[in-house]
Chain A
Amino acid sequence: MEGRINIPVGDWIETAVDWILDNLEPALDGIAWFLGLLTNSFEGALLAIPAWLLVLILVGLSWWRVSWRFGIFAIVALGLILGMDLWEPTIKTLSLVLAATAVALAIGMPVGVAMARSDWVEASIRPVLDLMQTMPPFVYLIPAAIFFGLGTVPGAIATVVFCMPPVVRLTNLGIRQVNREQIEAGLAFGCNRRQLLTKIQLPLAMPSIMAGINQTIMLALSMVVIASMIGAGGLGNTVLTGIQRLDVGLGFEGGLGVVILAILLDRITQSVGLRRKASG
């Protein structure tokens, strides 16, 4: 159609992607190597532990940190996963989640701190976070697959990008919400900038940061399932196979595994933020 306005945003993005492919290959390789190492070590370590021992650890953790009722839930739920013969994909998913979360926290928390310290940084990072959160997660799969091929690594990369915003936001928010007199107390007793951060701001922002970490883990889990479309494997793969074969049963089993993992991760990480009071 003649005269129709067509801003070629898509073309620009493609050009940018080509440029990155041509010029930043060593960096991409480095990232791929590192993430691959991280996920494989988590997976290797978790699979090296006998299933019964890992179940015991998770149940113990649930019992101790959450409640005895939750401990019993953990026994039943993990037993179900073993019974459905989904142990290996579950561990794969869990290691992907852990690796992606670790990277997201390592990048996200310093960014959150930088945002809290400077209004200018906050104003410039905020729209990026908005973009990261509202972009349909499938969109991340395409460049990830282009840069890193198919497999676990691009899945982890897409997951890192998708799950990072909550911890950045809540680190920023938590630090900004620290009471003014508590900041003044730190300064009045002679804190320098670093001490103010480590001794006053971060500890006081910890409940908020923990909420951010919890949200990041949850988002990572949901993304890891989607990332199976580019070959990330794990429970998402089980679900995907179910869809491809129109096998309701298999899809539902995979889905149930994801739900169980989500509940366990959510409740256990939430409990970490709470202080355990000494009795009496």
Chain B
Amino acid sequence: MDPIIRVRELYKVFGPNPQEGLRLIEDGLDKDTIFERTGNTVGVKDCNLDIAEGEIFVVMGLSGSGKSTLVRLLNRLIEPTAGTVEVRGRDVTRMSQRELIRLRSEDLAMVFQSFALMPHKTVIDNAALGLEIAGVGRARRRERALEALDQVGLKAHARSYPDELSGGMQQRVGLARALATDPSIMLMDEAFSALDPLIRTEMQDRLLDLQREHRRTVVFISHDLDEAIRIGDRIAIMQGGEVVQVGTPKEIILDPANEYVRSFFHGVDITQVFQARDIMDSETIPVLAADTTAGEARSRIARVPGNEAVIVDAAGRFQSVVQAKRLGELTVDRPASEVAVEVEPVGEDTPLANLPGRAAQAPVSIPVVDAEGQFRGLVTLQRLVEALDRSRNAAAANGDH
């Protein structure tokens, strides 16, 4: 599928003579040298991104890494110095003012770090701002604003003024304002960074809930790795105006591109990133029907490296785990299920951090099922210990810096 946003060779140079700055970048000079020589600041340098429809794409970096500039280049609040930004195949950098305004009011909403609400307007009129600008009639836009407020749980406060609300509630108004125009892309610039940690987590959950109801493409700027891992389908890491790595949270944690990327993981609990599905054995486990005999079960287990099999019902739903050594207690024609151990399976997205507790409760490996109860794989003790050991090592290595 074509990406909804495609960024190619995008540059932004601030200062007295951006074109000269651009030339010096091509000559291979670094950001600091260019600033010393010409007074030009390199904001974004040779950025190439493909953002897929419906994903939450997090752009992460320290302050000054160019991430806020990058997001403003996407809706051209900042004019790029060179390069292209395509939204659904249309080049934003070449649009006329008229086309640009249309794109912004119909397709690209934005949420700001400082909320940027209008203090003289009520919550409902703030939420309706985008529609008001687009020329939607008063009754219609209030109706849609109210729906958006309902989505963020603020319907009851529609008649309040922003300064009567807490920070978290104000940002929910900001979110409602973006949702009210029903955009397909939301640009969120450090949207939750000004909120205290508890409220921030609540807002992240709310965003994920909203995504479940209606998937939109979200470009989320953040400097907080925990936030990026929590909500991001993919993360781009920026350093000095350049995108140094793009990947899923796991890819980036397992294989950081450089020291800068690695330094982000300092103190991050990696066992929260990995889930049961990442470490389970889904290939070699024999899956048996409920009426399988002990003899057949033994021969099936003998053909694989492990010493366990699982029993599923006719619909493929997980029932129990059988171990080779317990099957020896039965004569070959008895049903294997007589010695099977019934354990509670875990979901595929159970965090690695929760698995050791489960392993301690049952004498067998931990079965993993999907949302319908279908068997997906087993987390054996050996795999669990290996994974824990690996993430502990990774944390230690990252923590050294």
- Using a CB–CB distance below 8 Å, which chain A residues touch chain B? 179, 181-182, 184-192, 195, 199-200, 203-204, 206, 275, 277-278
Contacts and interface: CB of A to CB of B under 8 A. Distances in A.
Contact of B77 (A182, A184, A277): A184
Contacts of B187: 188
Contacts of A199: 129, 132-133
B102 interface: yes
B112 interface: yes
Given A179-B116, A181-B116, A204-B118, A188 B159 contact: no
23 contacts: A179-B114, A181-B112, A181-B116, A182-B118, A185-B110, A188-B104, A188-B108, A188-B109, A188-B110, A189-B105, A189-B109, A189-B130, A189-B177, A189-B181, A190-B104, A190-B105, A190-B106, A190-B134, A203-B118, A203-B121, A204-B118, A204-B119, A275-B120
Contacts of B304: none
Nearest to A278: B159
A277 B161 CA distance: 9
Contacts of A275: 120, 161
B90 to A, nearest CB: 16
Interface of B: 72, 75, 77, 97, 101-102, 104-106, 108-110, 112-114, 116, 118-121, 129-130, 132-134, 159, 161, 177, 181, 187
Contacts of A277: 161
A189 B133 contact: yes
A185 B116 CA distance: 7
A62 B106 CA distance: 47
A258 to B, nearest CB: 34
Contacts of A191: 101, 133
Given A189-B105, A190-B101, A203-B120, A184 B134 contact: no
Contact of A184 (B106, B112, B129, B132): B112
B77 A188 contact: yes
Contacts of B105: 189-190
Nearest to A182: B116
A195 B131 CA distance: 12
B150 to A, nearest CB: 20
Contacts of B119: 204
A258 B394 CA distance: 80
A189 B177 CA distance: 9
Contacts of B120: 203-204, 206, 275
Contacts of A192: 97, 101
A189 B110 CA distance: 7
Given A189-B104, A189-B109, A203-B120, A184 B161 contact: no
Given A189-B130, A189-B133, A204-B120, A184 B104 contact: no
Contacts of A200: 118
A189 B129 contact: yes
Contacts of B109: 188-189
A255 to B, nearest CB: 39
A204 B120 CA distance: 8
A187 B78 CA distance: 11
Nearest to B115: A181
Q: Which 7 A-B pairs have the closest CB atoms?
A: A190-B105, A188-B110, A185-B116, A189-B130, A181-B116, A190-B104, A181-B112
Nearest to B76: A187
Given A189-B104, A189-B105, A192-B97, 10 more contacts: A184-B72, A185-B129, A188-B75, A188-B104, A188-B110, A189-B109, A189-B110, A190-B133, A190-B134, A203-B120
A278 B132 CA distance: 23
A203 B118 CA distance: 9
Contact of B112 (A185, A195, A206, A278): A185
Contacts of A190: 101-102, 104-106, 130, 133-134
A191 B75 CA distance: 13
Interface centre among A182, A190, A199, A275 (most CB of B within 10 A): A190
Contacts of B118: 182, 200, 203-204
Contacts of B133: 186, 189-191, 195, 199
